[in-house]
Structure 1
Amino acid sequence: MEVKLHDIGEGMTEADINCFLVKPGDAVKADDPLVEVQTDKMTAEIPAPRAGIIKEFKVEPGDTITVGTTILILEAAGHDGIEKVKVTSHPANSPKLHEPLESFAAFKGKRVLASPFTRKIARENSIDIENITGTGPAGRILDEDIYQYLASSQSKPDPVKQKQAVVTETLINPPADKEIIPFRGRRKQIARKMAQSLSIIPHCTHFEEIDVTGLITFRKDLKILNQNISATAFFLKALSICLKEFPVFNAVLHEEKEEIHLASEHHIGIAVDTDEGLIVPVIKHVENKTIREIHAEMKQLTEKAVGNKLSVKEISGGTFTVSNVGPLGGSFGATPIIQHPQTALVSFHKTKKMPVVTDDDQIVIRSMMNISMSFDHRVADGATAVGFTNRFAELIQNPKMLVLEMV
């Protein structure tokens, strides 16, 4: 049978082949991992749909393939799931060149239990994962096993290999004028998604300046009570309140049906910067969560995103997205690209202390933050976006009012 690339979440259309976890001739059981693929959001394994023997590969590592493409051919095994190997008989006086009939499984490579991220660590450090003894359940290889193996091998340098490496580097990889970065994996997938979004959605971006002095003071008061809640958690709760009042920004446009579907659930994605590019875990049902619950879940998802350990469920189903680039810098704003098919995205920028003129013409120092809100101009207009950000500013500038809105 043909094993094909299927949609593993969030309507993906293509993926990169990272590596094969089996080789031709291997006997596999149903649900055994066959191949590791990379989408714009995650690394995943494609399992065997049934028991059988790997006959041949139809693609190669590094290939970018679309959903429905055949990855490999899986032949049905014998009735017991193991195919037997025929042995040719020899004359009695001939040398012992044969053994008793044995199963094909005796010839197959070592079955390695390890997560895609663990395999990635091994590949990046040029380590043959089959040489490592796993310390996890059922002999599963853990990240720590890779690092331990790496530390052990580095402490025992091989002079011969070092000399060969220097010669090889000199002959094959002479100095070059330009550095080349491979355009594949998550970077390539992100590029495709962004280009798709810009080509479909007529983006319009509204900018606003918000006084966060009151929020900073409120958070300091909470710290005294041993309640360290991030500013972003307050932002998300305020956005959820705004989405309830301006539901058009929590919607999906079905242009062919001539319908705009408003979602009552607020599943807010948080853009996280990782070594392999942006990934967007999703906090589900923000409308039903307290600020403290939002903070805890956001922290957990961010840590998993950085470690490339998010599940499909944790990156799927977003209805609105935020990007907090403030800690990285950038004071004046940007024009963030919407996560298609969503309608809007808000980006928070760096907070700066600035002189501000009050209503009674007094000059005071306040902590000001710029935000930028990109929205689908087919679905909403600028006036509605201004109303949305004005309401958001009102809640953030008066954080005690934000708490009252939750009662």
Structure 2
Amino acid sequence: MVEVKLHDIGEGMTEGEIIHYFVKVGDTVKVDQPLVEVQTDKMVAELPSPASGKVKNIVVDSGTTVSVGTTILVLETEAGKSVVPEMEMKLEEAVPKKSEASTTQPQQQAPAENKGEKRFIIAAPYTRKIAREFRVDINEVTGTGTFGRITVEDLYTFVKKRDEIQSSKEMKAVSNKVIEEKTEPTQEIQKQDVQNIKETKEEDVLPFRGRRKQIALKMTKSFYTIPHVTHFEETDLTELLSYRNDLKEMNLNVSAVAFFIKAIAVALKQFPVFNAKLDEDNEVIRLEKEYNIGIATDTKDGLIVPVIHHADKLSVRQIHDKLKELTKKAQEDKLTPTDLRGGTFTISNVGPLGSIGATPIINHPETGLIAFHKTKKMPVVMENDEIAIRSIMTMSMAFDHRVADGATAVAFTNRFKQLVENPKIWPIELA
């Protein structure tokens, strides 16, 4: 017998709530198979089985909060098999050491298992959680990690291929129906959507596919992969807006966002850690050599991020022209793969919509994103203690805390502020 106890899962927890069990009394389980899902004050985690055997007794009911060390359930283990009593078995202990690799490889090359047969799965608890959310049988996913470990990237690759296959089948079925009835494809698809909505009796629905579904996949991946931290700041745009008005009188209309993008490119050169991507497999932070700024753009089909390439080498006016071009192409759904590829840092200009603050999600696998919020006039105490009306913009910067720290983020935004608040220094700084 082995007692499965609630143990500290590394968050300094003292207690947890039993959300639900994945097994019932009488079920046969294998090592590392999820047994129960626990809610702590910081996260939801799965507790895997420490040994193979049969569930003898479930001691604690779902919905109960228990302290660390409390026995949750009891396993009846197979005779002669070793047991790890308090679930201290770690992933590394279940994986052969490098010295054993030569004896392990032939076993991995054994004939494939029969279809539908359960196989030993190496995957982190949150990877399994995402698999359940997207209704994926994790046994069907091929792992690319060490010794076949299933990573989050493996899971999203699987989901993307599955959805593409399903979408292809749906489109083929619709096309066949269109040919039979001799109607236009777009009309038939619209009729089908309308019919589906009409058949819904108790609730209204919207299609969850295409770009909307891809946005969901990418946002979920970023949220589960990156430990986000959001830094808030205020920026005085009074001098920059005055400078823009002077340019307008010279028939030079340049948007404030074009200045922001140029200032971001300059600041990134001084703080390259935010123009980087984390390569966990090789344990390095790769500093990108190009400065390609993604522009989060709202379209009728959802959020999309076209990229201004080599922003550091473009003038403010060239950035303005490129920004207009990409925005128009995005609204008309004419962006090319090149327009969407290669981003190293992203900005989101939500101020015109009325936003005063947000905690944006990073465009994975980038390290940072800045959102520019509403600019409004307000009284400000100046250095000489006089009160003046200034145009103040709020902004929020989300960054990957695995790659950078808060002090570096503050220094980065301070450099950005210095540039946009003092346009007169641009001829010196950008020369």
1:349, distance to aligned residue in structure 2 (A): 0.3
State which of 294, 299, 317 in structure 1 corresponds to 2:319. 294
1:177, distance to aligned residue in structure 2 (A): 5.2
Amino acid at match of 1:400: K
> CA offsets per residue over residues 106-148 of structure 1, 9 Å max, x none?
xxx9xxxxxxxxxxxx7555599xxxxxxxxxxxxxxxxxxxx
Secondary structure of the corresponding residue to residue 61 of structure 1 = helix
Q: Identity of counterpart residues, as a percentage? A: 54
Distance change (3 Å), C-alpha of 1:273 and 1:123: farther
| Mapped pair 1:389 → 2:391 | no
RMSD of Structure 2 on Structure 1 (CA): 2.7
Distance change (3 Å), C-alpha of 1:285 and 1:293: same
CA distance in 1, matches of 2:397, 2:172: 36
CA distance in 2, matches of 1:62, 1:205: 44
State which of 381, 401, 407 in structure 1 corresponds to 2:425. 401
CA distance in 2, matches of 1:296, 1:194: 29
State which of 212, 228, 251 in structure 2 corresponds to 1:187. 212
1:229, distance to aligned residue in structure 2 (A): 0.3
| Mapped pair 1:340 → 2:349 | no
Secondary structure of the corresponding residue to residue 411 of structure 2 = helix
Length-normalised TM-score, structure 2? 0.57
> CA offsets per residue over residues 178-228 of structure 1, 9 Å max, x none?
321111111111011000001110000100000001111000000000000
1:264, distance to aligned residue in structure 2 (A): 2.2
> CA offsets per residue over residues 352-407 of structure 1, 9 Å max, x none?
00110111211110000001000000000000000000111110001121343221
Residue correspondence of structure 1 range 6-405 to structure 2 within 5 A: 13=157, 14=160, 59-61=169-171, 124-126=186-188, 173=198, 176=201, 178-331=203-356, 333-405=357-429
1:296, distance to aligned residue in structure 2 (A): 0.4
1:294, distance to aligned residue in structure 2 (A): 0.4
CA distance in 1, matches of 2:298, 2:423: 28
Amino acid at match of 2:170: E
> CA offsets per residue over residues 75-114 of structure 1, 9 Å max, x none?
xxxxxxxxxxxxxxxxxxxxxxxxxxxxxxxxxx9xxxxx
CA distance in 2, matches of 1:205, 1:62: 44
The question of whether the paired residues in 2 share the 8 Å contact of 1:18 and 1:61 is answered with no
1:135: which partner in 2? Answer: none
1:116: which partner in 2? Answer: none
> CA offsets per residue over residues 39-86 of structure 1, 9 Å max, x none?
xxxxxxxxxxxxxxxxxxx833299xxxxxxxxxxxxxxxxxxxxxxx
The question of whether the paired residues in 2 share the 8 Å contact of 1:282 and 1:317 is answered with yes
Distance change (3 Å), C-alpha of 1:175 and 1:343: closer
Secondary structure of the corresponding residue to residue 261 of structure 2 = helix
Distance change (3 Å), C-alpha of 1:402 and 1:125: farther
The question of whether the paired residues in 2 share the 8 Å contact of 1:209 and 1:368 is answered with yes
CA distance in 2, matches of 1:123, 1:406: 53
The question of whether the paired residues in 2 share the 8 Å contact of 1:253 and 1:259 is answered with yes
CA distance in 2, matches of 1:212, 1:358: 14
Length-normalised TM-score, structure 1? 0.60
Greater share of helix: 2
CA distance in 1, matches of 2:205, 2:247: 48
CA distance in 2, matches of 1:265, 1:123: 43
Amino acid at match of 2:323: M
1:263, distance to aligned residue in structure 2 (A): 1.1
Aligned residues: 262
CA distance in 1, matches of 2:255, 2:270: 24
CA distance in 2, matches of 1:350, 1:126: 43
CA distance in 2, matches of 1:186, 1:203: 24
Moved more, 178-187 or 314-323: 178-187
CA distance in 1, matches of 2:165, 2:319: 34
Amino acid at match of 2:385: D
CA distance in 1, matches of 2:185, 2:391: 46
Secondary structure of the corresponding residue to residue 60 of structure 1 = helix
1:75: which partner in 2? Answer: none
Distance change (3 Å), C-alpha of 1:182 and 1:220: same
> CA offsets per residue over residues 139-183 of structure 1, 9 Å max, x none?
xxxxxxxxxxxxxxxxxxxxxxxxxx9xxx99x937955321111
Secondary structure of the corresponding residue to residue 173 of structure 1 = helix
CA distance in 2, matches of 1:301, 1:272: 9
Amino acid at match of 2:259: F
Secondary structure of the corresponding residue to residue 171 of structure 2 = coil
